Chain A
Amino acid sequence: MEQVLFWLMAVVAVVSALTTISSRRPVHSALAFLVTLLSLAVLFLLLSAQFVAVIQIIIYAGAILVLFLFVIMLLNAQSGEGPQIKLPSQRPLAIALALLLFGGLSYLLLSSPLGAARPLPAGMGTVQAVGGILFNHFLLPFEVASVLLLVGVIGAVVLTVKEDEQPK
């Protein structure tokens, strides 16, 4: 059962990721990326990370990607890529580099011994466990993260408000 689910989701994730980067229409790219996100959420569930899986859907699929679609539709950019290619060697070079990266990463992963998985603590991945760690061991980073988000909000407002329509 677990095997079937893992391989199914792995194939779905890779195929939808490939569709994401190869689709001509940006909206289809975003939709394929949505499928990748959902399959990753299922994989998180398999890894006993329930809370992460739900947050992945709420934040990534429910907010970040919707914002992407919003901007894609706002700009109504079709392919968005001009016909003239300024760098002829871009395509083969990019594919070669990505393959090299994958080869290097898998070589490193396969050559380093992982050993047997340690036993999971009770309540792994539940809201209580995540909250306990987040607010005990990571309190300062948590607060800094909120400041980072505030900076992001202010930055977006400053960047997109036009000069002639400054709020009174």
Chain B
Amino acid sequence: MPSNISLLALVLITIVKGAVLIGALLMAFAYGTWLERRLVGRFQLRLGPNRVGPLGLMQPMADGVKVIFKEDFVPAQADRLAYWLAPALVVAVALTAFAVIPFGPPSVKLFGVPLFYISNVNVGILLILAVTSIGAYGVILGGWASNSKYSLLGGLRSTAQLISYELGVGLAILGVILLAGTLELPQIVEQQAGTWFGFLPRWNIFLQPLGFLLYSIGALAETNRAPFDLPEAEQELTTGYQTEYGGMKSAMFYMAEYIDIVLVSSIATLLFLGGWQGPFIQQLPGLGVLWFLVKVLAFVFIFIWLRATLPRIRYDQLMDLGWKVVLPLALLNLLLTALIVLIWPWLGGGG
């Protein structure tokens, strides 16, 4: 903590940074929906929304205005407390997790504090896991509070799915943590600087290919995206836990979904794709943010691509995949990584 500025100034800077971040994430949600609709349109040989504004760029605004003016109703015999709490909880949790995500190198400072992240804590990545694990409550409460069979089934399915894949994701992340020897995200990224043999970036994806694959599968499942979007399967459950939600509260569930996509993409970028590392980063550290955003966008694009390509899998297949494929493979990956980390110095290798 820098001692040359007062506590008050630090608090003010942090509040401003948080407000800017939240604003940026809400914009990311708005244009995430636009990007997805345009891209899925292309994949399906349609045009997608292109009427409102140039390239349909004003479409999210129009949708926002529509959603705000919709009737805000509560189903009969719903549990009011839980019904209101659920959408607020999922959005709050998704936003909070970004507090420890570094968007750029810590060397770029404003008033003596790093500009590109809000805080750096010793438990780093674990804090993100802790915060996102609270998100399961929003889903299960939303399903239960609506007093509807479809919603309840969707909520229960979704919670089971979240808990099952959280294990795989946690173990996949542990592989990277073993290599890095730290939980702090800025340090994990710093260790991925430079190249091997002069051309191959020292990204963790090349050391942990299996871990990256397992993390990506788990990330798809945790954000309830296709092909794992069973909790909101239209045909079977009429969009599951969101069935009885309308207007702004329904939009908040979507908001949380898109912010979660950005979150898991950011974590994948930081842990496996070298975060803000890229060409010319030494000369111009601020460029790091651009590399970071490019990598996150690429990951988001793959998310949308998968949705347009893959059919939804059955619920029993989902559970089989989670417990009988992802979990054992993640354990194997962890064991191998631990072994290599142990014998690498003994073989005479460095770093």
Q: Hey, which bits of chain A sit against chain B, CB under 8 A?
A: 25, 27-28, 31, 34, 50-51, 54-55, 57-58, 61-63, 66, 69-70, 73-74, 126-127
Contact = CB atoms under 8 A, between A and B. Distances in A.
Interface of B: 79, 81-82, 85, 121-123, 126-127, 129-131, 133-134, 136-137, 140-141, 144, 152, 155-156, 159-160, 163, 166, 183
Contacts of B137: 34, 66, 69
Given A70-B156, A70-B159, A127-B122, A27 B130 contact: no
B147 to A, nearest CB: 11
A73 B121 contact: no
Contacts of A62: 130, 133-134, 136, 166
A160 B28 CA distance: 45
B322 to A, nearest CB: 15
A72 to B, nearest CB: 9
A27 B156 CA distance: 14
A25 B156 contact: no
Contacts, number: 65
Nearest to A56: B130
A56 to B, nearest CB: 8
Main secondary structure of the interface of A (DSSP, over half): helix
A51 B123 contact: yes
A73 B129 contact: no
A66 B136 contact: yes
A57 B129 CA distance: 9
B133 A61 contact: yes
A57 B140 contact: no
Nearest to A76: B152
Contacts of A61: 130, 133-134
A126 B183 CA distance: 10
Contacts of B122: 50-51, 126-127
Given A73-B144, A126-B122, A127-B122, A58 B133 contact: yes
A73 B156 contact: yes
A58 B97 CA distance: 13
A141 B131 CA distance: 29
Contacts of B130: 54, 57-58, 61-62
A7 B9 CA distance: 25
Nearest to B127: A54
B47 to A, nearest CB: 42
A69 B141 CA distance: 9
Contacts of A57: 130-131, 133-134
Name, among B79, B137, B144, the residue most crowded by chain A CB atoms within 10 Å (CB to CB).
B137
B183 A127 contact: yes
Nearest to B131: A57
A25 B134 contact: no
Given A62-B134, A66-B136, A27 B123 contact: no
A57 B135 CA distance: 12
Contact of B123 (A31, A34, A50, A73): A50
Contacts of A127: 122-123, 126, 183
B337 to A, nearest CB: 16
22 contacts: A27-B79, A27-B144, A50-B121, A51-B123, A54-B130, A55-B126, A57-B134, A58-B126, A61-B130, A61-B134, A62-B166, A66-B136, A66-B140, A66-B159, A69-B137, A69-B141, A69-B159, A70-B156, A73-B140, A73-B155, A127-B123, A127-B126
B132 to A, nearest CB: 8
B123 A63 contact: no
A63 B144 contact: no
